[in-house]
Amino acid sequence: MTENIPREVVIIADDIRSMRIRGAGRIARAGAEALKKAAQLYQGPSSDFRKYMERVASLIVSTRPTAVSLPNAVSYVMRALEAEGDLREMVEAVVRRADEFIESSLKAVRRIGVIGARRIMDGDVILTHCHSTAAVQVIVTAHRMGKKIRVFSTETRPKFQGRITYRALREAGVDVTQIPDSAVRSAMKMVDRVVVGADTVTSDGAVVNKVGTSQVALAAHEARVRVFVAAETYKFSPASAAGVPVIIEERDPSEIVSREWLEKHKGIRVYNPAFDVTPPEYIDAIVTEIGVIPPKAAIMVLKERFGELKPPDRLVLAARDHDEAGVYY
């Protein structure tokens, strides 16, 4: 699939697949940047440019099957090729739309930070899971508003993304404590708000996020703690409204136990889902750049953002067919 695709673009794809680039927003922006680089580095005839860009788009989308932000970003940039033009015009159109997406994504995060921070009260204790730029922005913005808050941040095994969150909050001056994932229920009795991100929001308001999120939400529901999800609207899945299931990516067992251990203990099975699904009943509100909505209003956001909901294009479907796919939701 990588034949005749520039090395710089393949590196970005590999970084997304290997999780050196993490977080749905960062993944989406990296995908847009990869398409931009691919267009700028193209050296073939103008007649082959569209097919070349489609191959690049397929490569990028195939890297992570769950986060809908990635195919949504790719689809947004690739719409630059719907208009006719010479090679220079097509390249400029791709670059322009990639830059537009990246800038709008960053603006959305800043806007979510302000809107979400208003839901944080002075003196609140907050629990967050994994690493979400949007969720971190909410917490940091509340801190900068002068609200005295404390945060519990899970480690988020097996890749420990929660340590990224811990460092980001600590560097911003937030009072933050790292806890193991298994301590969530114990810590919840001290918590006032849960703030997490999302990789995908489905049309029925369910949230697909890092595995363990549903357990956090369940513990919060039991303790009557409100759960807020910070998510840009490009993380909402139009494909889900058309009945296309969301893949829950299953990753390599070596993220859980070493390959040497697996070799030594033949026949051992390891189930390593990267994401889980939190039902809308356990979510109090979704904080987006266009405002705070109840989960059940997700379908309205999709209609507003994407117009008439149609079957998804083949770039979105490509993520569903990724060879590392796990179970479906």
- Helix 24-41 / helix 7-17 crossing angle, nearest 10 deg: 170
CATH-assigned architecture of domain 113-309: 3-Layer(aba) Sandwich (3.40)
199 noted as active-site residue: yes
Top-level class of domain 7-110: mainly alpha
Task: Judge if 7-110 and 113-309 fold alike in CATH terms.
Answer: no
Write down the pLDDT at residue 322: 47
Residues 51-78 pLDDT 10s: 999 999 999 999 998 889 999 999 999 9
> 55: closest CA among 323, 314, 325?
314
130 noted as active-site residue: yes
Which residues of the chain carry a pLDDT beneath 50?
A: 309, 319-320, 322-325
Q: What's the CA gap between 240 and 198, in Å, rounded?
A: 15
Residues 134-159 pLDDT 10s: 999 999 999 999 999 999 999 999 99
Q: From the centroid of its chain, how far is CA 301?
A: 17
Write down the pLDDT at residue 242: 84
Which one is catalytic: 130, 175, 181, 323?
130
Q: Where are the domains of the chain?
A: 7-110, 113-309
Helix, coil or strand: residue 329:
coil
Angle at 240 between CA 53 and CA 248, to 5 degrees: 80
Which one is catalytic: 124, 199, 276, 284?
199
